[in-house]
Structure 1
Amino acid sequence: MRGTMTKTGKWLLIAAISATGILTGAGNGLPRAEARLTDPISSRSFSDTQSHWAKKEIEEAVRAGWVQGFPDATFRPEQPVSKEQFMALLERVLPAYQGHEPEEFTREQYLADVQGRWSEKTYTHLLAAGIIPYGKPDEPLTRVEAARLSLAALGKQSEGEKYRGTASRFFRDISPDNEYQVLMVYPIYKLGVMTGFPDGSFRPEERVSRAQAVVLLKQIKEAIAELYPGQVTEAERQAMTKAVSTFVTAVMDEEKIRRYDDLVKYVEENKWPVTEKFLQEHFSFMKYEVYDFARFPRFDELIYYAKISEGKYRMTVQYYSGELGGSLDRTFYLASEDGKNFRLIGKDE
C-alpha cells in the first residue's frame, strides 16, 4: 500500500482515508447542477485513459460510483484535484457517521470560504470529524495536504507526535526543522500510506492529480480495513459507544468532576466498570491544580472499531475538539466476555 513510480513515470499516490465522488465536471467548468444531471460515463469510453498508468484504478472507481468523467468522454486524469473535490471524495469512502452542527465561532473560522458553495455540507460534516483543509476550497490539493487529511481520515494524527523534535531525515526535500511537514509526512510514510520518489524526494508542494486522487482513495479504503481489523458487530459497536460515552458524560457534564482524587472516589463508590489505567490514560489532566484540557468527543463523530484479541476491543474517535485541542484522534480500549457488557480498560491491560 505504498506509492510507487510507474513505468510511465507517473507517481501513484497511495494513502489511507475516505471520499464522496465529485471528480465530475463540478468545479471544473460545469455548474454543480449540470454535473449531477450528467449521465455517468463508462470508464471504457474515456478517450484519455486507455493507456494511462491508473486506468485500472479509474475503472474501479467509476464502477464503485466514486467518480465520473466529463460529457466529452474524457476523465482528464492529469488535471489537478481541488481541495473541495478531494473532501467530497473522502466523505464517500469514510464510514457513515452523524456529526453535528459546529459552534458559531468554529463555523466562521473554518466554513466561511465554502458558504453557499456546493461543498458546504461536505465541509460541515467532515469538520465534526476534525478533517479540515486549509486555504480556499478551489485551490489545488498538494501532497503534504493530502498527507494531513489522510492521517485525519484514518484517525492517526497522533502518530505525528512520535516525530516531534526528530533529527531523522526521511526525504531530501523535507528538513527536520520543518515541523509541520515532518508531523504530516513522516507518519503517513511509516504507515505505508504514502511514499516518495526514486530520487529521494517527497515533493510536498506538488499538486495531486485526479488520477492520483483516485488511487489514493483506493489505498485509504484498504488501509482502514487493515488498521481496524476484526469483525465488530453493530450491536457491539453500539454497546462500546454507549459504555464510553455514558461514563465520560457522567464525569464531565453531569458530576462535573475536575479533580483526580474525586474521580477515583466516584468510580469506586458507584462501582463503575472502569480500571485505574483507563482513568490515567484519559483523565490524568485532573491531577494538576490548574489545567486546560481538550474536549472529549460527543461520540457522533467518525468512529473506528476493532477487535484486537479475544474479548478485547479498540474504539478510535476522530473529531474536532475545539480551539484548544483542534483536530484529534482519541482511542479507548474496552473488554467484554459477551460482547454486550463492556469494561473500560487501559491500552496494555
Structure 2
Amino acid sequence: MKHWKRGLCGLLATALMVPVGLAAPVNGEKGLSDLEGHWAQKEVEAAVASGWVDGYPDGSFKPEKSITRAEFTKMLLDAIHLTPDSETVAWMKVHAKMEDIWGNPTEYTPKLYDMSGHWLTSQGWLDAALYSGMVVPDDYNGKNFRPEKAIARYEIALMTDRALGLVYPASQPVEGELPFTDKEEILDWMKGYVNESVKAGVLKGYPDGSFQPNKTSTRAEAVVMIQRMLEEMEEGLNPDITVVAQYRKITDDSDKIVSTKTTDQVKLQVVNDVIYASLNDLYQVERDMMQESNDPDVNSFGGNWWPIKQQLDVGVDGGNFPIEYHYQMGNTEYSWFNFYNQFYVPVRSLYGELMVPICDLSHPNSEPQKEGWQSGWDAETNTITIPIVFRKPFFNVS
C-alpha cells in the first residue's frame, strides 16, 4: 500500500484542528474533571495520553455524551494512524481500485452525497475513511452518511472489523446462530461483522444475553471499544528479533541468491507463536536490495489497493505474461500468476498494512523457502532469515 518508497512506514499523528465541542486539548497536567471514579477512567486516560482523543476546553471529557458517526470515524482513524496527512492514505488515494460493471479494475471513486462542507470532509478525514475502506458509501441509504447521527453498536462492529482487516471472514456465512437473545434485530449482512467483533473481544453482549445492535454509544464506550481493538491489533508488536533479508532471483534459466543483509526496515509482530511481517516493508527491502545489486528489474513493481475487499495486488511487469500477486487481509489464500497457495494463518492488519505470516514458531523452517515468505528461524540467535524472492515473468516473447 505504498509506492515502495517508505510509504507505510511514515505513519505520523496529525495535528489538525478539530471542531469546537468535539475534542479540544486540555491544557496543563490536571486530570479530566469528570472522569474520577468513572468505569472507563483508565481507558480514557490512556487514550488521551496516546493523543487520539482529547477532553474539552473546560477540562471535562463528557464520557456519557453520545458520539456521532463523524466523531467516531475521526477517533478510529487517528487511533490507527490513518490520518489525512499520512503517506499511507496518500498512496491509497492514488492506487485505490474497484470493479467496473464488467468486473474489470477501474479507479475507485467513492462518493457520499451529504458531506459537502462538513468538517470531516474539509479536514481530510473523510478521504482517509473512504480510501482506507473504513467507510463504504454503499453501506448507507442513498449514500448519505448522516455524519451527526449518533453511531450504533452494529456500526462500531463494522468499522472496527475493517480496522482489524476482518472484512473477508466477516463476509463469510456465520456458522451456527449468534448467541444473542436479540439476534433477529441484526441484519443478515451484518451478522458476520458482529460475530467477528465479538470473537476479537472488541464488542460484548449484555448481562441479559442481548447484543442491542441499534443502541447508540457514548464517548467512553467508544474509547473502550477502540482500545480493545488496538490491543488485538498491536499484540506482539516489535519483538526482539534480528531480521536477515535474503534476496533470491528466479528467471526462466537461473535461480540464485543475489545478496543477503541484516535490516531493521521490516516491522514484525508475534501472535500465537506466528511471526508476521509487513508486506509493504518486505517489498521496500526488495526494491532496496535490487537497487544495491544494480538489478535492471528494480522498477518493474506496481501496486493496486482494493479498499472494499481489503486486498493488495503487486504486479511484476515484463514479458507477455506479467505476474501479479494477490494478498487479502483476513484470508489464508494468496495467489500469483495462476497459482493459488495457502498461508497457515490469515493475513493480519496493522495500521492499514497487510501483515503476512512468515514463520510458524511451533514448526519452524531452518532455512528460508522459495515461496510464500516462509522464513528460516534460528532460535539460538533469535534471528529470522526472510526470503525476498523476485520471480522474473516467464514466456517472454520478443
* TM-score bucket of the superposed structures, by smaller chain: 0.5 to 0.7
Inter-partner Cα distance in structure 2 for 1:256 and 1:87: 44
Q: Which residue of 1 aligns with 2:232?
A: 223
Q: Which residue of 2 aligns with 1:282?
A: 335
Q: Which residue of 2 aligns with 1:109?
A: 111
Q: Which of 355, 360, 372 pairs up with 1:305?
A: 355
Q: Does the aligned pair in 1 maintain the 2:153–2:217 contact within 8 Å? A: yes
Q: 1:94 to 1:162 in 2, by over 3 A?
A: same
Q: Which of 222, 235, 241 pairs up with 2:283?
A: 241
Q: Does the aligned pair in 1 maintain the 2:302–2:314 contact within 8 Å? A: yes
Q: 1:20 to 1:214 in 2, by over 3 A?
A: farther
Spell out the pairing of 1:76-91 with structure 2 (5 A cutoff): 76-91=62-77
1:335 aligns with 2:321: no
Tell me the amino acid that sits aligned with residue 153 of structure 1: A
Q: 1:255 to 1:25 in 2, by over 3 A?
A: closer
Q: Which of 120, 126, 130 pairs up with 2:129?
A: 126
Q: Which residue of 2 aligns with 1:8?
A: none
Q: Which of 133, 158, 167 pairs up with 1:148?
A: 158
Q: 1:196 to 1:107 in 2, by over 3 A?
A: same
Larger mean CA deviation between 194-203 and 332-341 belongs to 332-341
- Give the drift of 1:202: 0.5
* Paired residue secondary structure (1:194): coil
Inter-partner Cα distance in structure 2 for 1:211 and 1:45: 13
Q: Which of 170, 182, 186 pairs up with 2:191?
A: 182
Inter-partner Cα distance in structure 1 for 2:374 and 2:40: 43
Unaligned runs of 5+ in 1: 1-18, 258-262, 288-300, 313-331, 345-349
Unaligned runs of 5+ in 2: 1-11, 97-105, 244-263, 268-277, 288-299, 305-312, 341-350, 366-370, 377-384, 392-398
1:92 aligns with 2:78: yes
Tell me the amino acid that sits aligned with residue 162 of structure 2: A
Inter-partner Cα distance in structure 2 for 1:239 and 1:158: 23
Aligned length: 270
- Give the drift of 1:148: 0.4
- Give the drift of 1:273: 11
Inter-partner Cα distance in structure 2 for 1:21 and 1:58: 19
Q: Which of 26, 34, 58 pairs up with 2:19?
A: 26
Q: Does the aligned pair in 1 maintain the 2:181–2:210 contact within 8 Å? A: yes
Give the % identical residues.
22
- Give the drift of 1:142: 0.7
Deviations 1:228-282 (A, max 9, x none): 785674246455235699387898684697xxxxx6xx77xxxx999xxx9x843
Q: Which has the higher contact order (CA 8 A, sep 6+)?
A: 1
- Give the drift of 1:98: 1.8
Deviations 1:287-324 (A, max 9, x none): 9xxxxxxxxxxxxx921325543678xxxxxxxxxxxx
Q: Does the aligned pair in 2 maintain the 1:167–1:176 contact within 8 Å? A: no
- Give the drift of 1:175: 2.7
Q: 1:95 to 1:256 in 2, by over 3 A?
A: farther
- Give the drift of 1:198: 0.9
Tell me the amino acid that sits aligned with residue 309 of structure 1: D
Q: Does the aligned pair in 2 maintain the 1:21–1:66 contact within 8 Å? A: no
Q: 1:336 to 1:105 in 2, by over 3 A?
A: closer
Q: Which of 186, 200, 222 pairs up with 1:213?
A: 222
Tell me the amino acid that sits aligned with residue 283 of structure 2: T
Q: Which has a greater percent of helix?
A: 1
Q: Does the aligned pair in 2 maintain the 1:144–1:181 contact within 8 Å? A: yes
- Give the drift of 1:185: 0.3
- Give the drift of 1:209: 0.6
* Paired residue secondary structure (2:111): helix
Larger mean CA deviation between 303-312 and 211-220 belongs to 303-312
Q: Does the aligned pair in 1 maintain the 2:181–2:209 contact within 8 Å? A: yes
Deviations 1:21-71 (A, max 9, x none): 99x98364x7xxxx65x644656241x222211112122222222222222
Inter-partner Cα distance in structure 2 for 1:174 and 1:256: 53
Inter-partner Cα distance in structure 1 for 2:64 and 2:13: 19
Inter-partner Cα distance in structure 2 for 1:68 and 1:177: 32
Q: Does the aligned pair in 1 maintain the 2:183–2:211 contact within 8 Å? A: yes
Q: Which residue of 2 aligns with 1:50?
A: 36
Q: 1:203 to 1:40 in 2, by over 3 A?
A: farther
Q: 1:80 to 1:88 in 2, by over 3 A?
A: same
